[in-house]
């Protein structure tokens, strides 16, 4: 199931598949930390994010592959995975949903702070930072709209990913019980071996 979610996520990153600024990335990174064991929780989602970023920057956006924002964004995803590691896979659905939303908020703060630091359009003051978090630069949609979409997509996809993982676990558990019951039934139907005759 994690590999299926990774593949679906990679497809959704292509522009136009989802509405603008609506992404499954925040939920994917958080849920990888929750559900994927070992080092795979780190390198698999990060590799997927990095590869799709490089492909989009080169072939679609035609911008430099690596810049400060790229680094800040990947730092944000690493923190989301680390946040997910603080949760247990058996945690209740609402707790995991809240974790996913919190992760989306942290990602928004990190990436918009990076924009504030690197974009000359923002004054390097507290007022400039607040502008980066709320209204953004003139001529562009206000950043609070991006924040709202970040919250909505973070919550929606976290809920979907958690639901998919729980469904997968339930189906696996049902298969195991069915297999155990079938094995028990087969062993109960097997004829008992007759005792050997005593040899003289």
Q: Which range among 28-37, 138-147, 167-176 shows the weakest confidence by mean pLDDT? A: 167-176
For 3-27, the pLDDT digits (tens) are: 777 887 888 888 888 888 788 888 9
190 domain residue, yes or no: no
Tokens of 126: 């507290």
> Can you give the CATH number for the domain in which 132 is found?
1.10.1760
Residue 58 pLDDT: 87
86 domain residue, yes or no: yes
Q: CA 95, CA 88: separation in Å to the nearest integer?
A: 10
Residue 1 pLDDT: 67
Q: How many domains does the chain have?
A: 1
For 147-178, the pLDDT digits (tens) are: 999 999 999 999 988 988 888 888 887 787 78
199 domain residue, yes or no: no
Name the residue among 91, 85, 106, 145 with its Cα closest to residue 26. 106
pTM recorded for the entire structure? 0.79
Task: List the domain range (segments joined by +) for residue 72.
Answer: 2-177
């Amino acid at each position: 199931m994690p590999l299926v979610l990774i593949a679906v996520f990679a497809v959704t990153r292509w522009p136009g598949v989802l509405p603008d600024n609506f992404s499954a990335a925040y939920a994917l990174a958080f849920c990888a930390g929750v559900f994927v064991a070992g080092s795979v929780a780190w390198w698999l989602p990060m590799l997927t994010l990095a590869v799709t970023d490089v492909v989009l920057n080169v072939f679609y956006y035609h911008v430099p592959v690596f810049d400060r924002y790229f680094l800040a964004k990947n730092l944000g995803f690493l923190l989301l995975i680390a946040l997910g590691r603080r949760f247990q896979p058996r945690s209740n659905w609402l707790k995991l949903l809240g974790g996913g939303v919190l992760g989306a908020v942290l990602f928004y703060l990190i990436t918009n702070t990076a924009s504030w630091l690197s974009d000359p359009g923002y004054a390097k003051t507290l007022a400039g930072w607040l502008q980066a978090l709320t209204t953004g630069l003139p001529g562009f949609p206000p950043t609070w709209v991006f924040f709202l979409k970040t919250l909505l997509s973070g919550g929606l996809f976290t809920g979907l990913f958690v639901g998919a993982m729980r469904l997968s676990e339930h189906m696996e558990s049902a298969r195991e019980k069915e297999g155990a019951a079938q094995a028990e039934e087969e062993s109960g139907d097997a004829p008992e071996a007759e005792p050997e005759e005593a040899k003289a």
